[in-house]
Amino acid sequence: MSLFAKFNLSPAQGRSSLARRLAVATAAIVIGGIVAGCAPAATTAPAATTAPAAQAAPAATAAPATQADPTATVAAAAPAMRGAPGGGVTPIKATPTFQDVVYATASATQKLDIYLPAGDGPFPLIINIHGGGFMMGDKSNPASADEFLAAGYAVASVDYRLSGEALAPAQIQDVKAAVRFLRANASTYKLDPQHFAAFGQSAGANLAALLGTSCGAAALEGAELGNADQSSCVQAVVDWFGPTDFLQMDAQFTGTACPVTHDAADSPESQLVGAPIQTVPDKVKLVNPITYVTADAPAFLIQHGTADCNVPPQQGQLLYDALKAAGSDKATLTFLEGAGHGGSQFSDAANMQVVLDFLAKYLKG
């Protein structure tokens, strides 16, 4: 049984904030210090206040990485381990300016936290989408939030229904509903509705990429969740070690030191779609960001560690190749040599500067 499966949540637990947090705490103990994309704290945000009710390039960057086929490195360097929840692990210093904001009412899970930097705004927004194999994790402690706030960005960290509560495409429908809510209430929260970016780690990166490529895809919109008159499109995506085409993951790990377990019935991907993934290719295609790629896709920064044994590095290559083939001139892919499924190479000062430069180009340019 995979490590993710050991922490699977029942439908009732999926609706419980306490259960979500206990699952993450337990996973953190088991993985013994694997850090999935958090950075040292930098600044503080204003104290939390009560939220008002509302309806629901390829420019070269100095990345510490290279673009290359990572297969050989994976076989040699990756540990045989799965299950680290994506997102921030090291505590951030910032506290939410608005906490537990309800963005839809179909589930008690549908809440978000908003962090604002100093100043009057309106601020460009980074929408943080946590990882955890679609089955654990929550909006607390959004990855790199302190760095983003210090650079003048607002951060919205979103909870979405986990696979123990609802099958796909509920997760992307929730994220899209959150984006529409934030856009509808931009003036209330001092946000710039024309400059939204999605930032996801691991499973959250799948949702961030899917949010980026599926602008206007009715099947994923979840318009019934509210604010249907608003756009769920984003202007930029930062994808940290996210899966894209689930059906290729085991084939990409075959012959390496990494577990070949994604096709199993108890894998996070199979539990997301409600059946072993190879038996329901149409359902898997529905949540593959590559399905929706066009030349009009927003800017993408895709980063993956070459020693990732949770998600094959080739998954990022597939998305990058699809964007380029469609005619996008705003996609960048970097492989972080020797990095695993997150860790300090993603959150160190050099790589964070790459991320901040990318965001500035598309959110502040």
**pTM tops 0.85, yes or no:** no
Query: Model confidence over 244-280: pLDDT tens digits?
Result: 999 999 999 999 999 999 999 999 999 999 999 999 9
Q: Average pLDDT of the chain?
A: 83
Tokens 């509302």 identify what position?
A: 54
Q: In the structure encoding, which two tokens stand for residue 119, read together?
A: 């100043």
State yes or no: pLDDT of 9 exceeds 80: no
- Cα 221 to the chain's mean position, in Å? 17
> How many Å apart are CA 183 and CA 177, to the nearest integer?
10
Which domains can be identified in the chain, with CATH numbers?
3-364 (3.40.50.1820)
Specify the higher pLDDT residue, 49 or 225. Answer: 225
Query: Model confidence over 32-86: pLDDT tens digits?
Result: 333 333 333 333 333 334 343 333 333 333 334 444 444 334 433 333 332 334 4
State yes or no: pLDDT of 140 exceeds 50: yes
Query: Model confidence over 294-303: pLDDT tens digits?
Result: 999 999 999 9
> How many Å apart are CA 291 and CA 294, to the nearest integer?
9
> How many Å apart are CA 365 and CA 298, to the nearest integer?
14
Q: In the structure encoding, which two tokens stand for residue 359, read together?
A: 């965001």
Query: Model confidence over 164-184: pLDDT tens digits?
Result: 999 999 999 999 999 999 999
